[in-house]
Amino acid sequence: MLLWSLSQVIKKSGTKSSTIQVKQTEDGLHLADSILWFDAQANGELSFISTPDLESNPKVPQVIATAETVRILEAFRRKPNALVCQYNRPFSIGRLRMELLPSGCVLGGASLYVEVDGGRLLYAPNLQPQRVPTVRQMQLKKAHTLVLAPTQADPNLALPNRKREKDRLLETVQSMVKHGVYPIILCDPVGTAQEITKLLTDHEIPVAVHDVIAKINKVYEDSGSKIGPYTRFTRKYAKQKVTLIPIRGHIGNSRVSNLPEAPILGVQGVLDETISLGSSRQVAERFVLGTSFDGPEMRDIITAVGPKEVYVMGQFAKRYAAELANIGVTVKPLFVNDQPTLF
């Protein structure tokens, strides 16, 4: 069950009907007969960036993004030429009328609503229907065409309840700290790390964070998101503190070897995500805090948006399209250069 009713967060729109054609490439999605691309790094003249990806470095002539997404990218020396837009402030470029909506996943994360030639499209690859206290709540808008990118492998499987998983994580950490044990927590550096920082500091548990997480925390704080007191991790000053480390990337071997000898807790965004610090450092316990919607929530999102056509992106596109074939809406998998995926 969603923690927030979709009917509370959906916005109304007009009544014209016309689907919009999009095509997936190896570098983002392209809106047919337009200059607009979605999450492209190099293709086209103009690309909308839905979420701050630390591995990306957009090189298109201009990107559309929120100020928070741009600040996170700039914190890692990414310098996109950005048209900075606010949520819920419609704007036009040529014949395209657009509006950014909060995706509910991470600070600055957004979906893009587009009106063009009588058609209405909602590009929403990353959506978190459940309330995350450190970011704006997800919003939807009625559209003829909906684009989604599921990250969970099984379209029929619901993720564990986020509140119960957070409570379980908190109870585990509190029990360890009570006995003088301060665990290492592996988690996604954008979004999840800030949510965990707030969870622990709200309960007066001391926290130290990896440099990558500290940079993102600073952007959250500068944007008004209160995540509580923390320190940067160093081996010398991280004693008697729970340490947050990025789940993947950004960690050299020296940094891993400098981690304290402590139990490792893994917080993953998808059920089948691999969490490891190498064969010598095993994860003691795992927790699932979904970073995006699961299969059942996807069905609720489709119902709320009310599209005539749904495009499904990603490695599980074919499977989701098959599972959703009987929901009364046309569901099409998107393949890079029109080549089917293996799943």
Buried b / exposed e over 146-162, threshold 16 CB at 10 Å, is bbbbbbbeebeeebeeb
Buried b / exposed e over 241-280, threshold 16 CB at 10 Å, is bbbbbbbeebbeeebeeebeebbbbbbbbebebebebeee
Q: What is the pLDDT of residue 15?
A: 41
pTM, 2 dp: 0.89
**CA 105 – CA 51 distance, rounded (Å):** 9
pLDDT tens figures, 273-283: 766 666 567 88
Structure tokens at 45: 């003249």
Q: What is the pLDDT of residue 247?
A: 84
Q: Is 95 exposed, middle or buried (0-12, 13-18, 19+ CB in 10 A)?
A: exposed
Domains and CATH numbers, the chain: 6-157+292-338 (3.60.15.10), 162-288 (3.40.50.10890)
Q: What average pLDDT score do residues 12-30 get? A: 72
Q: Is 188 exposed, middle or buried (0-12, 13-18, 19+ CB in 10 A)?
A: buried
Whole-Å CA distances, 29 to 131, 156, 308: 28, 26, 19
User: Average per-residue pLDDT in the chain?
Assistant: 87
Q: How confident is the model at residue 335 (pLDDT cuts 50, 70, 90)?
A: confident
pLDDT tens figures, 126-185: 999 999 999 999 999 999 999 999 999 999 999 999 999 999 999 999 999 999 999 999
Phi-psi region of 336 (alpha: psi -120 to 50; beta: other; left: phi over 0): beta
Neighbours of 27 (CB within 10 A): 17
